Every structure is written in C-alpha cells, then in structure tokens.
A and B are shown apart, each in its own frame.
Chain A
Amino acid sequence: MSLRNMVHCALSLVLTFAGLAGLYLQLNAEFVGFTQILVYVGAVSILIVFAILLTRSTEPKDEPATVTPWVGISVAVGAFLTMALAVLASPVGKRLAAPAPEVSVKTLGQKLMTDYVLPLEVMALLLTAAMLGAVIIAMKDKEGQR
C-alpha cells in the first residue's frame, strides 16, 4: 500500500471498477459493462466511501509509507510483461471473435426468469435479509436513545 489515505485508496478502487467495465465493453458485453458502471461506480463506491467516513478518521497520517512504491511498480510491470507475452504467444488472439448475439431486454428478462431464476431468487432473499438487518439495527439505536 503506497497510498496512506483511505479515501484515495477507495477512489483508486473506483478507477479499477471503471477499468473493469471498459474490459467488458471491449468484449462486446455492453449490458454487463454499463451495469458494472451503474452498480459499482455509482453505488458500491458510495457505500465504501460512506463506510470509511463513518468508521474512521480520514485525516491522512504523517507516517511514511511502509513500502517504497518502486518495489510494487517493478512487480506490476513484471507481471504485466509476463502476461502480455503469454497472451501474445498463445493462439487465443488469432481466434475469430464470435458474432455478437442480439441481446434485447426481452431475452434478458426471459433468461432471468427461466434459466437463472434460482440465482435471482437467492439474490432477492439475500438483499431482503440485509435490508431487514439494517432496519433492525437502526430501530435498536432509536430505542436506546429513549
């Protein structure tokens, strides 16, 4: 960690989310890419930032970074070069891209309601449970005050 400020870390993480969305767009997955931006850059990042602000002081500490950035940079460059060489050498790049399927809202909805109905239901249950938990925590706080 070369960034000592938690908020800077969070902002860099958001940049990574946006980069991931760009990767999806490169793969012709428009829907997933834009949903990634909507959910991660729009909502999850706000959640992270709020969590940081509400739980700890955001004043940057004066103590120096424990690791010099050069070690990290050299490791990152090395890893990138290895991966780039491996990708360039592999036959994946020469494969022809599959024709992009027509993804309409209708097909998406039908897939969600037939093939992927179980994950959808599980997600719904999980989110409802999380929301109920949040409400209960908030309610207890209020009773304690009175």
Chain B
Amino acid sequence: MAELFQAIDQFPVILKHWLMSHAAGVLPEWVLPLLSAALSITPILAVFPLLFALTTVVERKGLGRIQNRIGPNRVGIPLTDIRLYGFGQFIADGIKSLIKEDVVPRAADKVVHFLAPIALLIPVLLTYSVLPFGKNMVPLDLPQTGLLFFFAVGASTELSVFMAGWSSRNKYSLLGAMRAIAQMVSYEIPLILSSLTVVMMAGTLSLTGIVENQATVHFGFLHDWHLFTPWGFVGFCLFLTAAAAEANRTPFDLPEAESEIIAGYFTEYSGFKFAIFFLAEYLGLFAMCGLGITLFLGGWLPPFKFLGFIPSWCWFLGKLVALILLFIWLRGTLPRLRTDQLMGFAWKFLLPMTLINLVVAALWHMSGGAVPVLVRWAVGFVLLAVPYWLLGRGFEVKFTKREYRFAN
C-alpha cells in the first residue's frame, strides 16, 4: 500500500526518468539535456496557464456571487445544450483575443511596444523554475541561490511595465506605469524582508531546503510549518499583503484603476498582447502564492503527518488554489486605496513591521531549547502586537490629525 502511494506521489518524476532512459539510446547525446529541460518545462506550461484560464472563470463567477449577480454561466460545449456551468468561457475568451485586431497607436514606439509583453511574460515564467511543486519536483534546484533567483527575476518585470507604459505614448499608460513601478519598488522591500526571516531560520536560500526545514514533527502529528510560529504567522500576513501589491491585486490595483486611468499601462494593448499581460499578471500572482506556500505553508508537506499518503503535488496545488480563492475573496470585498495611502502603508506600516519581525525571529531562534514554548510565544506576541497596534491606530490617533484631502 505504502509503495503504491509512493508511486502516485513520485509519478511525474518516474515518468520523466522512464522517458529519459528510453530516449538515451535513440537520440544523440547533445539532445538529452535539452529534452530533460523540455520535459521539466512542459508540465509548468501546461498546468499554470490552464489554471489561469480556470481562475478567470472562477473569479468572474465568484465576484458575481459576492456582488449578488450570477456571473458567466452560458458558454459550454458549442452546438449542444451542455453549459458546463459557464466553464467553457475561457476557451471563448481565448479564441476572441486571438482573432481580434491588434491595434498599435500610430505614435507608439513600435519596437518597445512589441517587446514589452514578451519581456513581462518571460521573467514571470522563469520564476516557476525554482519553485518546488512536490517532493523531488523542482525544475531547477539552486541550492545556494534559489530564493535570490526568484526575486532577481521577479524584479525585472518592473522594467517591462515601464516599457509598456512609456512606449504607448498615452498619458494614462504612462501614469499607470509610474504608479505600478512606484508601488512595485516600495512593496518589494517588505516582500523581501518578510521572506528574509525564513532564510534566517532555515539558514539556506534553497527553496527545497526551506521546505525540508519544515518537515520536523511536533506532538507526533503536526508538521512544523513556519506559519505555526509568531514570526511565521506575522511574516505570512506581511508577505501576502506585499505579494498582493506586487501582483497588482485589489486593494492595491491602482496601476490599472479602470475608473481613473482606463487600464493603466496596458491601455493601448489589444488582442493577444492584452491577453499576454493578463496571463503574466495572473501567473505572477500564482508564482507569489507558490513562494508563500514554500516559505510559510510547508510547501508540499501536509499539515498533519497522517495525511502524508496524499501526493505531495496535490498538497501544493491545493494550497495554491486555496490562496487564489482567498485573493478572489479579497478582490470582491476590499475597496481600492489612494496612491498616498498606498505608499504610506508600505513605508510607515509594512516596513517597520517586517523589521520588528526580523528581531522577533532572531529572539525565537536564540531562545530555542532553553525557554519554555509558552514564554516564547508570549514574548513574540507582545513584541508584535504592541507595534501593530501603535503603527496601525495609536500613532495615527495621537499625532496626526485626519485630513480629508479630496472629500472636502
């Protein structure tokens, strides 16, 4: 029985080894590394765009439910009465964007305008190469620099946003790009600092190493996810907030605030180029969620040891879907911030909180073993809750008078 579960768990790895061993005799030697890379890439390119397509439908239906509407429920299989609850919608959308006219403004900088969506999608796809999707399932294991690779590649998307906004020669595009860049640069700091706590505790930048660091078991059944510590819980909340801002999700979707600046930096894109922007945005969100899962939610590990028979990649995908649903819920619930509020939130609240969280993580690490767990929890809680209250409410009430800049 255990071997069967093991086989299901490692099924993609076994399949790849089988294909490679059969190809080894047939194909010339220089093809094999390319084939190996292609075999690792194919599942990513198959699973995540499909997940994106399904997410667009689920998001529209979910938002519809939240806003007391029905949402898309018509498109099913063509020429039949089967409607599939509207889940044929994404195929129709895809075909529509493929056959739409690609309009490029006459004043646009043609080359940069053409390159921008490509320069946005490629780094986003590259970030997937270091995420561990399951046990032994990481396309590119960088034992010394995994996390750094993720952030380095992720940071280069900012320039693509600028390229898109600037080359369109449209003031709304440029405004959207400026907003997007300012927001991404500001929120990258809390994002990296909140992940840094995990690096401190795990002592490695390798994402597989970080997951394995969470594999120890407490009380005989509970896996030691980083979420189950004071610094991990706060770190995860900060990470998720910063990730939402990095991915331009509501409440941080100012760069494409459609009521103010049409669609932000991709106003002047139509047809499939627009679809690529859409795809890159969602894939970026999924990658951020995947990183959050790896860092704080135990990656491919189940929460309880006795649930270990469920394949590891199922756990990863399950957590990913849960986080996506959380983001859809947030989008349906929260209003959009104002630009100055957005910046203030990043610099005056998130940044101090991440710095305090670093200290708490260090204390947690130092006091390991000698101090009872309850005392460590109490100290961590006090050190995090008091600044949270002060930064969130106390200072604002005490030292600043609330001014309504635009409401008066």
Which A positions have Cβ atoms within 8 angstroms of B?
5, 7-8, 11, 14, 18, 30-31, 34-35, 37-38, 41-43, 45-46, 49-50, 53, 58, 102-106
CB of B212 within 8 A of chain A? no
**Residues of the B chain whose Cβ atoms lie less than 8 Å from the Cβ of A8:** 112
A14 to B162, CA, bound (A): 13
Cβ–Cβ contact A37 & B153, under 8 A: yes
> Quick one: which of A5, A30, A43, A49 contacts B144, CB cutoff 8 A?
A30
In the complex, what residues of A have CB within 8 A of residue B145's CB? 30-31, 34
Is the CB–CB distance between B156 and A41 below 8 Å?
yes
CB-CB contacts below 8 Å: B160-188 with A: 162-163, 166, 178, 181, 185, 188
Q: Which of A11, A37, A105 touches B112 (beta carbons < 8 Å)?
A: A11
User: How far apart are the CA atoms of A50 and B181 in the complex, in Å?
Assistant: 10
Q: Which residues of B contact A106 (CB under 8 A)?
A: 203
Residues of B near A53 (CB, < 8 A) are 166, 178
Other A-B pairs beyond A42-B188, A53-B166, A103-B144, 7, CB < 8 Å: A30-B144, A35-B152, A37-B152, A37-B153, A46-B162, A46-B181, A106-B203
Evaluate whether A105 and B181 lie within 8 angstroms (CB atoms) in the complex, with A31-B145, A38-B152, A41-B156 already known. no
The CA of A18 and the CA of B153, in the complex, are separated in Å by 11
Q: Whole-angstrom distance between the alpha carbons of A127 and B148 in the complex?
A: 22
Residues of A contacting B148 in the complex (Cβ-Cβ under 8 angstroms):
31, 34-35, 38
Tell me how far the C-beta of B177 lies from the nearest C-beta in chain A, rounded to whole angstroms.
10
Q: Mark B205-221, 1 if CB is under 8 A from A, else 0.
A: 10000000000000000
Nearest 8 CB-CB pairings of A with B: A42-B155, A37-B152, A38-B152, A34-B152, A30-B145, A34-B148, A41-B156, A38-B155
Tell me whether B151 is interfacial, beta carbon within 8 Å. Answer: yes
- Cα(A105)–Cα(B209), bound, Å: 12
Residues of A close to B199: CB separation below 8 A: 105
Taking the nearest CB of chain B, how far is it from the CB of A85, in angstroms? 27
Give Cα A38–Cα B159 distance, bound, in whole angstroms: 12
A31 and B148 alpha carbons, distance in the complex (Å): 8
Chain B min CB distance to A110 (Å): 12
Residues of A within 8 A of B178 (CB): 53
Complex CA–CA separation, A98 to B151 (angstroms): 28
- 30 A–B contacts, CB within 8 A, in A order: A5-B109, A7-B112, A8-B112, A11-B163, A30-B145, A31-B144, A31-B145, A34-B145, A34-B148, A34-B152, A35-B148, A35-B152, A38-B151, A38-B152, A38-B155, A41-B155, A42-B152, A42-B155, A42-B159, A45-B159, A46-B158, A46-B159, A46-B162, A49-B162, A49-B166, A53-B178, A58-B166, A104-B144, A104-B204, A105-B204
For the complex formed, measure the closest distance between the CB of A49 and the CB atoms of chain B, giving whole angstroms: 6
- CB B132 to nearest CB in A, in angstroms, measures 18
Given A11-B112, A30-B145, A105-B204: A37 touches B156 (CB 8 Å cut-off) = yes
- What is the bound-complex CA distance between A34 and B129, given in angstroms? 14
> A37 to B153, alpha carbons, bound, how many Å?
7
B381: interface (CB < 8 Å) = no
